[in-house]
Structure 1
Amino acid sequence: MIRYELLDLLKPILTEELVVCNIGSPSQELHALDDQPSNFYMLGTMGLASSIGLGLAMATDKKVIAIDGDGSVLTNLGTLATIGNNPCDNFILLIVDNGSYGSTGDQPTYTGGRTSLAKVAEACGCENVVECSAEETPEALRAALDANRMTVIVSKCDSGNVKCPVITMNPITIRERFMREVAR
């Protein structure tokens, strides 16, 4: 199962939460599948979806899900230490680990080798870490939402992208409509 298929499985679950989605292909895929004002699409800043998601969770009582990729998390590995040392029970980090830098041509990442982001997250102090297959991710996400406990989910899926249109919405429009959702 590739990331697009995983995101499609998550559509019925992502209804009330604020979602911060990783740069490039993941944002384009989520936008094409289920555009919502509660989705904040990253159009730049690789590696910061998890950091922005944590900051948002610290600033609101609403549930926040950051959808990040293994390549992005590897480019900002310090975010896991920040998350581990600042637990917010309304925050879920969903790392879609396809073992590749999907937005730049599917070059392999080290998570396809010896690096385990679940073990790194645990070593950084994240207490509730779940590693699962893409097929098990909807159940893991529902359980994390029901638990009201900060959770890091590492969802192992296959590498590959679906060609989706570029998000033509102005970044200011994305920000403004998302801010209205946060305030709602």
Structure 2
Amino acid sequence: MTADQTACTAAVLEETPDAAVISNVGTASYHLTALGDRARNFPLTGAMGVTTPVGLGLALATDEQVTVLDGDGSMLMSLGALSTVARLDPSNLVVVVMDNAAYETTGGQTTLSTEVDFAGVARDCGLSAWSADTDEAFREAYAEAVAADGAGVVVCEVAAEKPDEYPPLDYGHSYVKHRFRSEFVDG
């Protein structure tokens, strides 16, 4: 069984409507953007493997809720970041790993996520972690992670799928960066 990535992304926005949401290259950013553009979204559409480190940096710089929407391929590239998240343990950070077992954005190549227990790795690093494979299980796990005393990781098994239509990201990276920063500096 797998959860629906769009429904789970919507659950993040419903549970934490004021959260800063950092999304990884490709599918996570497209799902997030399709649900509506907002100044507190920071889609890292041109970078892979840095989503969790960027989210950690932001969580350390603010008291506001920060949620990372990472993918399994991106997390595999920065797996060591979980030990740093655990050591610094910001209570306002939740890392969501949308695991579709594929590098969907680059052509659907299979990742090695079936060989890695992301929740187990997170726990071994000292983090609270949850796994979900349905929309309802994800919603519950995410709510628990937000309420937890410390950073948390939620691994969500989703189907590998390309959106029917990619929402237009008709603005430059510089615009998104400045808009996002203004939310926290000026807002």
Calculate the TM-score normalised by the size of structure 2.
0.89
Q: CA RMSD in A?
A: 1.6
Structure 2 counterpart of 1:103, one-letter code? T
Which ranges of 4 or more aligned residues in structure 1 deviate by more than 3 Å?
8-11
2:81 corresponds to which residue? 79
**Which residue matches 2:130?**
130
Quick one: which amino acid aligns to residue 74 of structure 1? L
Residue 143 of structure 2 is matched in structure 1 by 142
Give the 3 Å change call, closer, same or farther, for CA 73–131 of structure 1 in structure 2: same
Alignment partner for residue 54 of structure 1, among 36, 53, 56? 56
Q: Which residue of structure 1 aligns with residue 117 of structure 2?
A: 116
1:55-103 per-residue CA deviation (whole Å, 9 max, x = no partner) reads 1001111110011001100011211121122111111101111111121
Q: In structure 2, what is the equivalent of residue 69 of structure 1?
A: 71
Deviation at 1:157, TM superposition (A): 1.5
Counterpart secondary structure, 1:61:
coil
Name the structure 2 match of 1:151. 152
User: Structure 2: where are the runs of 5+ without partners?
Assistant: none
Could you state the TM-score of these two structures normalised by the residue count of structure 1? 0.91
Shift of 1:29: 2.0
| Separation in 2, partners of 1:147, 1:35 | 28
AA paired with 1:4? Answer: T
Contact 1:2 1:98 in 2 (8 A): no
Q: How does 1:33-44 map to 2 (within 5 A)?
A: 33-44=35-46
Aligned length: 182
Q: Which runs of 5+ in 1 are unaligned?
A: none
Matched, 1:22 2:24: yes
**Cα shift at 1:148:** 4.6
Deviation of 1:120 (Å) = 1.4
| Kept in 2: contact 1:3–1:98 (CA 8 A) | no
Contact 1:47/1:74 (CA < 8 Å) preserved in 2?
yes
Contact residue 18 and residue 65 of structure 1 kept, 8 A:
yes
Letter in 2 for 1:133: D
**Shift in Å at residue 132 of structure 1?**
1.4
Q: Which amino acid aligns with 1:119?
A: G
CA-CA distance at 1:150 after TM superposition: 1.2
Deviation per CA, 1:112-154: give whole Å up to 9, x if none: 2x3211111122232x111112411112112222335311111
In 1, Cα distance between equivalents of 2:4 and 2:130:
19
Shift of 1:33: 1.4
Going from structure 1 to structure 2, the CA distance change for 1:107 and 1:80 (only over 3 Å counts) comes to same
